[in-house]
Structure 1
Amino acid sequence: MEHILIVGGTGVLAGVTRWLNGREHKLSIIARDQDKLRQISSGCTFPDDNHLISLDYGNSHQLRSNVQDAQKKYGRFTMIVA
Protein backbone atom coordinates (compact mmCIF):
# COMPACT_ATOMS: atom_id res chain seq x y z
CA MET A 1 0.00 0.00 0.00
CA GLU A 2 1.41 3.37 -1.01
CA HIS A 3 1.41 6.29 1.44
CA ILE A 4 0.33 9.54 -0.22
CA LEU A 5 0.29 13.04 1.26
CA ILE A 6 -2.53 15.29 0.05
CA VAL A 7 -2.32 18.97 0.99
CA GLY A 8 -5.72 20.64 0.73
CA GLY A 9 -7.56 17.40 0.09
CA THR A 10 -11.00 18.74 1.00
CA GLY A 11 -11.27 21.54 -1.56
CA VAL A 12 -10.39 21.31 -5.24
CA LEU A 13 -8.59 18.02 -4.55
CA ALA A 14 -11.59 16.31 -2.93
CA GLY A 15 -12.21 14.18 -6.02
CA VAL A 16 -8.54 13.18 -6.15
CA THR A 17 -8.70 12.26 -2.46
CA ARG A 18 -11.68 9.95 -3.01
CA TRP A 19 -10.13 8.47 -6.17
CA LEU A 20 -6.77 7.67 -4.50
CA ASN A 21 -8.53 6.21 -1.47
CA GLY A 22 -10.59 3.99 -3.75
CA ARG A 23 -7.32 2.60 -5.12
CA GLU A 24 -6.56 1.39 -1.56
CA HIS A 25 -3.75 3.84 -0.83
CA LYS A 26 -2.97 5.06 2.68
CA LEU A 27 -3.64 8.80 2.64
CA SER A 28 -2.39 11.52 4.96
CA ILE A 29 -4.74 14.42 4.24
CA ILE A 30 -3.93 17.94 5.40
CA ALA A 31 -6.61 20.63 5.56
CA ARG A 32 -7.55 23.55 7.77
CA ASP A 33 -11.13 22.53 8.53
CA GLN A 34 -11.57 19.43 10.75
CA ASP A 35 -15.25 19.09 9.80
CA LYS A 36 -14.44 19.07 6.08
CA LEU A 37 -11.72 16.49 6.71
CA ARG A 38 -14.18 14.20 8.47
CA GLN A 39 -16.78 14.74 5.76
CA ILE A 40 -14.44 13.90 2.86
CA SER A 41 -13.04 10.90 4.72
CA SER A 42 -16.46 9.46 5.54
CA GLY A 43 -17.34 9.68 1.84
CA CYS A 44 -14.34 7.55 0.87
CA THR A 45 -14.51 3.84 0.08
CA PHE A 46 -11.89 3.01 2.73
CA PRO A 47 -12.14 5.77 5.38
CA ASP A 48 -9.96 3.83 7.83
CA ASP A 49 -7.05 4.25 5.39
CA ASN A 50 -7.15 8.04 5.83
CA HIS A 51 -4.94 9.84 8.34
CA LEU A 52 -6.53 13.24 8.92
CA ILE A 53 -4.36 16.22 9.81
CA SER A 54 -6.10 19.49 10.62
CA LEU A 55 -3.77 22.46 10.81
CA ASP A 56 -2.98 25.93 9.50
CA TYR A 57 -0.45 25.62 6.66
CA GLY A 58 1.14 28.88 7.82
CA ASN A 59 2.43 27.24 10.99
CA SER A 60 5.57 25.64 9.53
CA HIS A 61 6.61 24.01 12.82
CA GLN A 62 3.24 22.28 13.23
CA LEU A 63 3.20 21.29 9.54
CA ARG A 64 6.70 19.79 9.70
CA SER A 65 5.95 17.94 12.93
CA ASN A 66 2.71 16.41 11.61
CA VAL A 67 4.28 15.37 8.31
CA GLN A 68 7.18 13.71 10.13
CA ASP A 69 4.78 11.91 12.50
CA ALA A 70 2.72 10.61 9.56
CA GLN A 71 5.84 9.20 7.90
CA LYS A 72 7.01 7.55 11.10
CA LYS A 73 3.63 5.91 11.54
CA TYR A 74 2.81 4.91 7.93
CA GLY A 75 6.14 5.04 6.07
CA ARG A 76 7.65 7.46 3.58
CA PHE A 77 5.40 9.21 1.10
CA THR A 78 5.44 7.71 -2.36
CA MET A 79 3.59 10.74 -3.76
CA ILE A 80 2.68 14.25 -2.67
CA VAL A 81 -0.39 15.97 -4.14
CA ALA A 82 -0.82 19.70 -3.52
Structure 2
Amino acid sequence: MNREHVLVIGGTGMLKEASLWFSEHGYIVSVIGRTPRKHESLAAEAANPEFINSLTQDYTNHSSLERQLIRAMEKYGPFSIVVSWVSSLPSLEFIIKIVSEHSSGWKLYQVKGSKRYFEDDVLQVPPNCKHRSIYLGFVIEGNTSR
Protein backbone atom coordinates (compact mmCIF):
# COMPACT_ATOMS: atom_id res chain seq x y z
CA MET A 1 0.00 0.00 0.00
CA ASN A 2 1.32 3.43 -0.95
CA ARG A 3 1.18 5.98 1.83
CA GLU A 4 1.19 9.73 1.43
CA HIS A 5 4.51 11.34 2.23
CA VAL A 6 4.54 14.44 4.44
CA LEU A 7 7.43 16.76 5.29
CA VAL A 8 7.33 18.52 8.66
CA ILE A 9 10.01 21.17 9.13
CA GLY A 10 10.45 21.88 12.83
CA GLY A 11 8.75 18.57 13.49
CA THR A 12 10.76 17.64 16.58
CA GLY A 13 10.04 20.90 18.39
CA MET A 14 7.23 23.33 17.74
CA LEU A 15 5.48 20.97 15.31
CA LYS A 16 6.13 17.71 17.19
CA GLU A 17 2.41 17.06 17.72
CA ALA A 18 1.79 17.51 13.99
CA SER A 19 4.48 14.91 13.24
CA LEU A 20 2.89 12.48 15.68
CA TRP A 21 -0.60 13.11 14.30
CA PHE A 22 0.45 12.41 10.72
CA SER A 23 2.26 9.19 11.68
CA GLU A 24 -0.73 8.03 13.76
CA HIS A 25 -2.95 8.54 10.72
CA GLY A 26 -0.81 6.41 8.42
CA TYR A 27 1.32 9.00 6.66
CA ILE A 28 5.05 8.56 6.13
CA VAL A 29 6.48 11.62 7.87
CA SER A 30 9.91 12.98 7.00
CA VAL A 31 10.82 15.24 9.90
CA ILE A 32 13.47 17.96 9.78
CA GLY A 33 15.01 18.97 13.07
CA ARG A 34 18.54 19.75 14.21
CA THR A 35 18.79 17.78 17.44
CA PRO A 36 19.31 13.98 17.37
CA ARG A 37 17.95 13.66 20.93
CA LYS A 38 14.67 15.28 19.87
CA HIS A 39 14.40 12.90 16.91
CA GLU A 40 14.85 9.98 19.31
CA SER A 41 12.17 11.38 21.61
CA LEU A 42 9.77 11.79 18.68
CA ALA A 43 10.26 8.20 17.54
CA ALA A 44 9.80 6.94 21.12
CA GLU A 45 6.47 8.79 21.42
CA ALA A 46 5.15 7.78 18.00
CA ALA A 47 2.43 5.11 17.87
CA ASN A 48 3.91 4.10 14.49
CA PRO A 49 7.63 4.89 14.70
CA GLU A 50 8.19 3.02 11.45
CA PHE A 51 6.35 5.88 9.71
CA ILE A 52 8.83 8.47 10.99
CA ASN A 53 11.78 9.32 8.72
CA SER A 54 14.15 11.46 10.80
CA LEU A 55 16.23 14.02 8.92
CA THR A 56 18.70 15.51 11.36
CA GLN A 57 19.31 18.70 9.46
CA ASP A 58 19.69 22.45 9.72
CA TYR A 59 17.39 23.75 6.98
CA THR A 60 19.74 26.68 6.29
CA ASN A 61 22.40 24.24 4.99
CA HIS A 62 20.90 24.08 1.50
CA SER A 63 23.28 21.62 -0.16
CA SER A 64 22.84 19.00 2.56
CA LEU A 65 19.11 19.73 2.79
CA GLU A 66 18.64 19.17 -0.94
CA ARG A 67 20.39 15.78 -0.76
CA GLN A 68 18.24 14.68 2.21
CA LEU A 69 14.97 15.81 0.63
CA ILE A 70 15.70 14.09 -2.68
CA ARG A 71 16.77 10.91 -0.89
CA ALA A 72 13.54 10.93 1.15
CA MET A 73 11.41 11.43 -1.97
CA GLU A 74 13.25 8.66 -3.82
CA LYS A 75 12.53 6.27 -0.95
CA TYR A 76 8.96 7.28 0.01
CA GLY A 77 7.65 9.20 -2.99
CA PRO A 78 6.99 12.91 -3.53
CA PHE A 79 5.67 15.04 -0.71
CA SER A 80 1.93 15.65 -0.81
CA ILE A 81 1.98 17.98 2.21
CA VAL A 82 4.66 20.22 3.72
CA VAL A 83 4.12 21.76 7.16
CA SER A 84 6.72 24.43 7.75
CA TRP A 85 7.97 26.27 10.82
CA VAL A 86 10.75 28.09 8.93
CA SER A 87 11.71 31.64 9.84
CA SER A 88 14.12 32.04 6.92
CA LEU A 89 12.25 33.05 3.76
CA PRO A 90 15.19 32.10 1.46
CA SER A 91 15.30 28.62 3.04
CA LEU A 92 11.55 28.13 2.64
CA GLU A 93 11.75 29.28 -0.99
CA PHE A 94 14.57 26.77 -1.54
CA ILE A 95 12.46 23.96 -0.04
CA ILE A 96 9.48 24.97 -2.20
CA LYS A 97 11.67 24.79 -5.31
CA ILE A 98 12.95 21.28 -4.48
CA VAL A 99 9.52 19.91 -3.56
CA SER A 100 7.83 21.46 -6.61
CA GLU A 101 10.38 19.92 -8.96
CA HIS A 102 9.47 16.43 -7.68
CA SER A 103 5.75 16.72 -6.84
CA SER A 104 2.94 17.22 -9.32
CA GLY A 105 0.56 18.72 -6.77
CA TRP A 106 1.12 19.42 -3.10
CA LYS A 107 0.03 21.59 -0.16
CA LEU A 108 2.14 23.93 1.94
CA TYR A 109 1.02 24.92 5.42
CA GLN A 110 3.27 27.75 6.55
CA VAL A 111 3.12 28.17 10.33
CA LYS A 112 3.99 31.66 11.52
CA GLY A 113 4.34 33.20 14.94
CA SER A 114 1.87 35.89 16.03
CA LYS A 115 4.49 38.63 15.54
CA ARG A 116 4.53 37.84 11.81
CA TYR A 117 0.80 38.49 11.40
CA PHE A 118 1.41 42.10 10.42
CA GLU A 119 4.47 41.39 8.27
CA ASP A 120 3.93 41.17 4.56
CA ASP A 121 6.40 38.57 3.37
CA VAL A 122 5.84 37.80 -0.27
CA LEU A 123 6.23 34.07 -0.70
CA GLN A 124 6.21 32.96 -4.31
CA VAL A 125 4.61 29.54 -4.76
CA PRO A 126 4.38 27.65 -8.04
CA PRO A 127 1.03 26.67 -9.59
CA ASN A 128 1.35 23.05 -8.39
CA CYS A 129 1.34 24.20 -4.73
CA LYS A 130 -1.68 25.18 -2.63
CA HIS A 131 -0.43 27.52 0.11
CA ARG A 132 -2.01 28.38 3.45
CA SER A 133 -0.58 30.52 6.25
CA ILE A 134 -1.34 29.56 9.84
CA TYR A 135 -0.76 32.24 12.46
CA LEU A 136 -0.21 31.13 16.02
CA GLY A 137 -1.95 33.00 18.78
CA PHE A 138 -0.44 34.35 21.96
CA VAL A 139 -1.19 34.61 25.65
CA ILE A 140 -0.67 37.54 27.97
CA GLU A 141 1.30 36.78 31.13
CA GLY A 142 1.56 39.75 33.46
CA ASN A 143 2.79 42.65 31.37
CA THR A 144 4.17 40.56 28.51
CA SER A 145 2.88 38.22 25.85
CA ARG A 146 4.19 34.97 24.49
TM-score normalised over the length of structure 2: 0.55
Could you say what secondary structure the match of 2:79 adopts? coil
Q: Give RMSD over aligned pairs.
A: 0.7
Rg larger in 1 or in 2? 2
Give 1:42 deviation, angstroms.
1.4
Q: Does structure 1 residue 62 correspond to structure 2 residue 64? A: yes
Q: Which amino acid aligns with 2:54?
A: L
Could you say what secondary structure the match of 2:12 adopts? coil
**Residue aligning to 2:40:** 38
Q: Which amino acid aligns with 1:38?
A: E
TM-score normalised over the length of structure 1: 0.95
Q: Does structure 1 residue 14 correspond to structure 2 residue 16? A: yes
The number of aligned residues is 82
Give the strand-richer structure, 1 or 2. Answer: 2
Give the helix-richer structure, 1 or 2. Answer: 1
Could you say what secondary structure the match of 2:55 adopts? strand
Q: Which runs of 5+ in 2 are unaligned?
A: 85-146
Runs of 4+ in 1 over 4 A off after TM superposition: none
- Cα distance between partner residues in 1 of 2:44 and 2:50: 9
- Cα distance between partner residues in 2 of 1:55 and 1:19: 21
- Cα distance between partner residues in 2 of 1:25 and 1:58: 26
Question: C-alpha offsets along residues 39-76 of structure 1, whole Å, 9 cap, x if unaligned?
Answer: 11210110011111001212100001100000001100
Q: Which runs of 5+ in 1 are unaligned?
A: none
- Counterpart selection for 1:28 from 27, 30, 39: 30
- Cα distance between partner residues in 2 of 1:32 and 1:17: 15
